Structure 1
Amino acid sequence: MRLLIVLLVVASAASASELDWWKTALIYQIYPRSFKDSNGDGIGDLNGITQKLPYLQQTGVDAVWLSPIYKSPMYDFGYDIADYREIQDEYGTMADFDNLLNEAKSLGIRVVLDFVPNHTSNESAWFERSAARAAPYGDYYVWADGRNATDENGTVYAMPPSNWVSNFRKSAWEYHPGRGQYYLHQFVIGQPDLNYRSDSVQEAMKDVLRFWLDKGVSGFRVDAVNKLYEADPNNYGGVYPDEPLSEIPGLGPDDYEYLIHVYTENLNETYDVVYDWRDLLDEYIATQGEYKIMMTETYADLSLMIKYYGTKTRNGSIPFNFSFLEDITMNSTAWDIKTVIDRWMTYMPSGRVANWVNGNHDKSRVGTRQGVDRIDAMNMLALILPGVAVTYQGEEIGMVDGYVSWNDTVDPWGCNTDDPVAYASVSRDPERTPYQWDGSAHAGFSTAASTWLPVADNYLTLNLAAQIAAQKSHYHFYKDVVANRKSPAIQEGDLDTKALSESLLVVTRLLPGEAGMLGVVNLAAEAQTIDLTSLKILPSDLEVVASGVNCALEKNATLTKSSIPVSAHCALLFRSGIVGGGNAAGAHYLSLPLVLLVVATYSITACFS
């Protein structure tokens, strides 16, 4: 009987672990094309990812999120999907994916896939059948007749159905001569928008989710989710209404920001679709015994992002915290950073899980956006705040944007500028350059004569192998912080933020009965000595458990809270003594966790252009 009770307790604990893994997960985004090339063709692939899984396990990653690996003509490098159930040839085979999934699971790493529901490729069989009006695909996409216009000579000509503009510039409508109508594409011409007012489309996309869930993936990141719905023409006399002008100076009709997107973004119907997907994922929790995570990409006002969490009666997704990604800049003060953190935690519904995103394949890297001296600070902040942390490949070693010339540019966003100067301001290629593994040719990414994008010029000195060999590095600091992220204080502790001044931010995590942690970051250009005796609950003695690249204090050093010397541009993580009142002198204190981040802001004159 006693043995049975023990077995039941162990089984219950394992079940809880499987169901709660996502709440404090460290998720590592892999852009497969740029991670590791295993076959020498200059393009990263699935087998390359599999080769590097031990590295990710050693780093402390809980799950990997793979940018699209599906069959695609690659006009937008995988976000134009021809077949959701096939692997793109240059990435490998389905057998390669199954092997990656099995190897990852054997190492305790979960696999999350990119789900791209807003559009397919125009080379998809769905689109070809829809263009031919074949049942049931006729209404799978957003089709519309053009508008008639008359030129100055009285000649009648056809115009697009509305003034809507693609995210990648120019009209969001493209005429299809075979069907004799225009189709909507909110991104490149080769990405026709699906029609979510069709029940058949909604069921087809659920079947895509089921296909990969049946294989055993642990969830999805959902791309461009806030663009699923457009205005219903039935509510506007059978036509698609023009969007109002933004009146931003210097923009023209081809620019996306020229319009205010009231008819093509954040429509209320979108949320119900996301909630339905959550219901579907929840069905697999019962059958596979594992929580299936869903994270949604939504560049929108915070109040609109937060709605993706769900309602009182329906669960939703984790909306990516793009406030953390975009609203903290190289000029942010401690007050600014506190505001960004507090706003998310305030807006987030009770009982939901926060997340902190430092970068992705669409945004310049931290070292470029905020300056290299903020790399350790921002990595630490993302890792010690409550909830999910998302790291884009290369941020753990402090990669910065690579230079990609006009001739080497392949990103459609950059190419659509038709401008060999202006392209650099919008191209996403610089943050997608290959991972810098070592100082060998092409940074150890590939043995090919050339790679799909050029490797960043600084790879000889900035690479993983060099950082592992160095006594101190961004990678050592990142890995040390990840190890301490597993502490109960960071996993479960309450959050409090205090801006002590324009340059000092304090972030505390408190959990009764556990040892504390203390993080100190000085982003100022001069060294500072900090006195934290005003934090009464914090024990006097502190031990350094992670030391950033610019810090004079070394790991394992001890000091007191009354005098904490912090070098310029330094990030430190301490373990505190046990917090609370003991029963007698010399007795152990009641353990109370504390995680503290002190940030001093600074100015920087150089930035990527």
Structure 2
Amino acid sequence: MSLDETLDPNTPTTPTETEPLTATSEAGHDWWRTAVIYQVYPRSFADSDGDGIGDLPGITSRLQSLADLGVDAVWLSPFYTSPQNDAGYDVADYCDVDPLFGTLADFDALRARATELGLRLIVDLVPNHSSTQHRWFQAALAAGPGSVERSHYLFRDGQGVDGELPPNNWPSVFGGEAWTRVTEADGTPGQWYLHLFDSSQPDFDWSDPWVREQFLDVLRFWLDRGVDGFRVDVAHGLIKKPGLPDYTPPADGNSMGGGLGEAETPPYWAQDGVHEIYRSWHEVLLSYPGERILVAEAWVEPLSKLAHWVRPDEMQQAFNFSYLESGWTATSIRRVIDASIEVFSSVGAPSTWVLSNHDVVRHASRLALTAENPQGAGIGPKSPGLPDRAVGLARARAASALMLALPGSAYLYQGEELGLPEAIDLPDSARQDPTWFRTNGERYGRDGCRVPLPWESASPAFGFNTTGESWLPQPSDWTSYARDVQIGVPGSTLELYRLALAIRAEYRLGAGEIEWLTGYGPDVVAFRNGEVTVIANTGSVPVELPIADELLATVPLDGPALPGDATVWLRGV
């Protein structure tokens, strides 16, 4: 079923089965096909030296908690040398650790500890752009127009009488223009360089063979250090349309290109030329022992087009942002699950499922918003339609339980297992996201989902460190979310996640298949995956449940009915 198809509104009076949908293929069941992968945002996970910013030794010290949670792999957001203008996504050296986070020896220790705990390790790679402080870009500035060094980036002459206008009208993802003019060595105004993100993040020119060779070396550097794969940042942005034609995106479009559906593809997103790059990367990973993977951050729609990123000779996984953005309605959820399994299976890939990450409003808040909120905009005190925290948490627990029962691979974002909401009331003076500054405060950006984690309720900085310092302020009312007040407490969000992951592993739900069940009403998502029956009520009217063994419920059940905003797993239906 495609996303554009409408579900039959007529439901029978008793539950019936439909044809099964499988998330796996005859290609085999490699670890990544069913894995639960936990995203660590290093700045905000754990701080070992008390400077207020998380680091690699801090992550290493807390890895046991992730093994106890029951995940299969850890994905680290960037920890490379960087001026940190965009929290490390502005890379100045792809083959070293920023002193803010530690050393290469600290990375090796983290890798060793992860292996000891049975956790695979995936690292972020940022190939669309570098930092302006990268030696390659500095060489390009020094070499001048027409040089080999400038061919590594997208330098262009400006328009207008004296080149005073940018080469085209492209906007930056973070707001404002996507071009910045440089001052040449002789002091005169010179060429412009493209930056789809911040002006400190110049885009590479991936039509240049030299750029391609450098990144093959970067892959080998980290593969030699034992990483199990790469999450590829802005994987749909590397190739730009020849000629760099003008393009005005829809006013209500998402900043990274999602939500456009079948609309014309922007000239800077999802160009066909990216696929030959990833085929060459695929070959590099194949030359190493074990099962190494590539994961695409590609905001591409429709899903049938996104499936091109995970064909057998390209990447292994692509983030399913259509699922993340589907909203808390039964119709939209079932529609996107159907479409996802169908299109990914057609190319022999598993679907991935994700609800939160470091770029979107946490789903414990997002699912209770009552106003439109485009990706990347964030929310703050003056945002319309702010969520009710209790409603948001109930929906987040129910949505997470539904997601973790699906066949395929699931991604968790740090803190969601604690039920963390978006930090809405951050002081303006504390905000650091480039989006906030480039839009003059019109968009709050992503700081609210990046606040450091609460580990211990009574410790300084909630156990993030021992000094009480925190690069973003932690809300004072996060005490009840701390890990130490949830561990071992029946019904807590942390224990809900631990139980769900244990059952998922025991019943091999990631390798299963879906049999849809109907007859529970228009607001209910109901399916069987092997021995487990999952019923999620996205509405407000309680739904009668069949008599069966309860494996998991996101709310205490009082009688044979499932209330709204709740999910239950049953056995024996």
TM-score by length of 2: 0.83
1:274 is matched with 278
DSSP 3-state at the match of 2:180: strand
Deviation at 1:546, TM superposition (A): 2.4
Match of 2:358 in 1: 361
Partner of residue 181, structure 2: 175
2:544 aligned with 1:529: yes
The residue correspondences of 1:44-193 to structure 2 (distance < 5 A) are: 44-133=54-143, 137-149=149-161, 158-178=164-184, 180-193=190-203
1:169-210 CA distance string (max 9 Å, x none) = 111111121363111111000000011010010010111010
Of the three residues 391, 394, 418, the one matched with 1:397 is 418
CA drift at 1:447: 2.5
CA contact (8 A) 1:320 1:357 kept: yes
Aligned partners of 1:294, 1:207: CA distance in 2, in Å? 15
Q: Which has the higher contact order (CA 8 A, sep 6+)?
A: 2
CA distance in 1, matches of 2:214, 2:252: 43
Which range moves more in the overlay, 397-406 or 485-494?
485-494
Equivalent in the alignment of 2:403: 382
1:352 equivalenced with 2:364 (yes/no): no
- Which runs of 4 or more aligned residues in structure 1 lie more than 6 Å from their structure 2 counterparts after TM superposition? none
Q: Is the 8 A contact 1:194 1:201 kept in 2?
A: yes
Map of 2:318 onto structure 1: 319
**Tell me, which stretches of 5 or more residues in structure 2 are unaligned?**
1-27, 368-391
Is the contact made by 1:42 and 1:447 (CA closer than 8 Å) also made in structure 2? no
Equivalent residues of 2:296, 2:315 under 8 A apart: no
2:215 aligned to which of 177, 194, 205: 205
Shift of 1:498: 4.0
Max radius of gyration: which structure? 1
Distance 2:301 2:201 in 1: 25
2:487 maps to 1:472: no
**Aligned pair 1:341/2:347, yes or no?**
no
In 1, Cα distance between equivalents of 2:564 and 2:301: 35
1:406 paired to 2:405:
no
User: Please, which runs of 5 or more residues in structure 1 have no aligned partner?
Assistant: 1-17, 150-155, 234-239, 511-515, 532-539, 554-562, 578-609
Identify if the C-alpha distance between structure 1 residues 567 and 242 changes in structure 2 by more than 3 Å, giving closer, same or farther: closer
SS at match of 1:147: coil
In structure 1, what residue type is equivalent to 2:570? F
CA distance in 1, matches of 2:253, 2:322: 26
CA deviations 1:518-557 (Å, max 9, x no partner) are 23333444543224xxxxxxxx6x3223232x2136xxxx
- CA drift of 1:467 comes to 1.1
Q: Could you tell me the TM-score, scaled by structure 1's length?
A: 0.79
Q: Secondary structure at the match of 1:423?
A: coil
Q: Hey, what's the Cα distance between the residues in 2 that align with 1:56 and 1:489?
A: 19
CA distance in 1: counterparts of 2:167 and 2:127, whole angstroms: 23
Bigger CA drift: 402-411 or 392-401?
Answer: 402-411
Q: Could you report, residue by residue, the CA deviation over 1:77-135 in whole angstroms, capped at 9, with x for unpaired residues?
A: 10000000110111111111100000000000011000100000000001111222387
Partner secondary structure for residue 182 of structure 1:
strand
Task: From 549, 556, 560, give the equivalent of 1:551.
Answer: 556
Of residues 439, 464, 481 in structure 2, which corresponds to 1:417?
Answer: 439
> 1:493, CA displacement in angstroms?
2.0
Contact 1:64 1:111 in 2 (8 A): yes
SS at match of 1:164: coil
When residues 454 and 108 of structure 1 are mapped into structure 2, their CA distance, relative to the original with a 3 A threshold, is same
Amino acid at match of 1:166: S
Could you say if the C-alpha distance between residues 278 and 71 of structure 1 is closer, same or farther in structure 2, counting changes exceeding 3 Å? same
Partner SS state of residue 152, structure 2:
coil
SS of match in other structure, 2:230: strand
State the match for 1:504 in structure 2: 524
CA RMSD of aligned residues (A): 2.4
Checking the alignment, whether the CA contact within 8 Å between 2:154 and 2:204 is kept in structure 1 is yes
Q: In 1, Cα distance between the equivalents of 2:272 and 2:565?
A: 44
Which residue is 2:291 aligned to? Answer: 291
